[in-house]
Amino acid sequence: MENRLVIVGAGQSGFAVAAKLRALGDQRPITMIGDEGLPPYQRPPLSKTYLTGAVEFGSLLFRPEDWFREKGIDLRLSNPVEEIDRQTKHVVMRKGDKLAFGDLVLTTGASPRRLPSAIGGDLDGVYVVRDKRDCDLLRRVMHPGRRVLIVGGGYIGLEAAAVARSLGLKVLLLELGTRILQRVAASDTSDIVRAVHLANGVELREDTGLRMLISDKGRVVGAELSDGSRVTADFVIVGIGVVPNDQLARASGLAVGNGISVDEYGRTSDPSIFAAGDCAEFSYRGMSVRLESVQNAVDQAETVATSITGGRAPYQPQPWFWSDQFDLKLQIAGYNAGYDRTLVRNGQRPGAKSVWYFQQEQFIAVDAINDPKAFVSGKRMLALGINPPEEILENEALDLVEYTRSATASSAA
């Protein structure tokens, strides 16, 4: 009987599945199939140090190709899977090859949302930021003095804005919502991030959408905004979110919602098919969620690897995330969906702040801004179920790391 594990998607999560299986001592044959022509690499630096040119691509690879060979992991990097045949347990690749699997893992990630072509989304000079190729194209046009229009005030748009300013470009960022980071953070955090961008010369227009891009000979030269104004642009970066790559799963009849539905073991509605990372939807605190973060991609992948070897260790997400913009380091622990109150704490170092989220008086998440102590403490409190009292958080002289240590010790006693 075929016992090959086939992993579709050679990214953060696919790599973590294979690495964990080998770390667990599992020696079954593994084939990892990608579509970027590159071994698995880290994406977070793409919109940060790789885009500025501070690091070379080689440093983003998780492992050199030799490592995969030594571990018996067969990499097929330029031949995407186009079909899953669940009856015969085969995947079919674009070049026609068929590969049998015992178990299959889908780690296909997500794709950036694009602007509709009716408003100029496919003009030359319109970019997204998802993979190395996108960033190589961008690096060629990000020259000092040029004018970039960024559509979307989420993490990708804001990080791109910070890079562009640091390279000496003129930046106008549009956010359709009433404030940047509206989907993912409280207004306290948006206010802090906005202030940093304004201080660094980013022009921000919130509550302003894009009506259409203006072109000349097929190339973008500007835009008409929702308030009727017109702006010029040498190029455009679109950061308006992503959609899960769940088409293969959907076409093969697996259960799919906002992503491929999996249980706490990473299993889809077919017991020999698993999914993890940006493409997978699962139940968390009574909600159906899909997380787009390194933490989730790795931890869920490791849960899948354990399940494949017959272990039963349910995924218990401890979400965390980070974003770098100018000299602002934002670190987030927890998942703030459903919060009904926030509390802002000044940290001990100048400029350090943290925003604490509560739901029915239960602490659920923290955004730490240049405040690693708040991040580390908040993350630990969430892991241990410690609910910090308001007077503790409001006491700015109190060392939160010390507090967490003593709260941990007294709960263990």
Q: Which residues bind ligand FAD (CB under 6 A)?
A: 8-14, 33-36, 43-44, 46-47, 80-81, 107-109, 129-130, 156, 245, 248, 277-279, 292-295, 297, 321-323
DSSP H helices, 24-102, are 49-52, 65-70
Please state the closest distance from residue 354 (CB atom) to ligand FAD, in A: 18
Task: Kindly give, in sequence order, each residue whose CB lies less than 8 Å from that of residue 379, ignoring residues fewer than 6 positions away.
Answer: 318, 320, 333, 334, 366
* Closest separation in Å from C-beta 40 to ligand FAD: 7
H or E segment at 214? Answer: strand 210-216
CA distance 137 to 325: 21
From the CB of 174, what's the least distance to ligand FAD, in Å? Answer: 19
Query: DSSP letters of 358-371?
Result: EETTEEEEEEEES-
Would you say 133 or 405 has its CB closer to ligand FAD?
Answer: 133
Q: How far is the CB of 191 from ligand FAD (least distance, A)?
A: 21
In the complex, the smallest distance separating the C-beta of residue 25 from ligand FAD, rounded to whole angstroms, is 23
| 69, 71, 76, 81 alpha-carbon torsion, rounded to 10° | 170
- Please tell me the distance from the alpha carbon of residue 29 to that of residue 306, in angstroms, as a whole number: 16
Structure tokens that stand for 217 in this block: 């000979």
> Would you say 156 or 256 has its CB closer to ligand FAD?
156
Nearer to ligand FAD, 60 or 225 (CB): 60
Written as six digits, the tokens of 221 are 């030269």
CB-nearer residue toward ligand FAD: 193 or 407: 193
Q: CA torsion angle for 69, 307, 41, 2 (degrees, to 10)? A: 40
Would you say 292 or 302 has its CB closer to ligand FAD? Answer: 292
**Shortest reach from residue 276's CB to ligand FAD, in Å:** 7
Q: Find the shortest distance in angstroms from Cβ 13 to ligand FAD.
A: 3
Q: What does the alpha-carbon distance between residue 210 and residue 215 come to, in Å, rounded to a whole number?
A: 14
Beta bridge partners of 320: 333
Of the pair 46, 213, the CB lying nearest ligand FAD is at: 46
Q: Which residue has its beta carbon closest to ligand FAD?
A: 11
Query: What type of residue sits at position 222?
Result: G
Using the minimum distance from each CB to ligand FAD, give the nearer residue, 9 or 347: 9
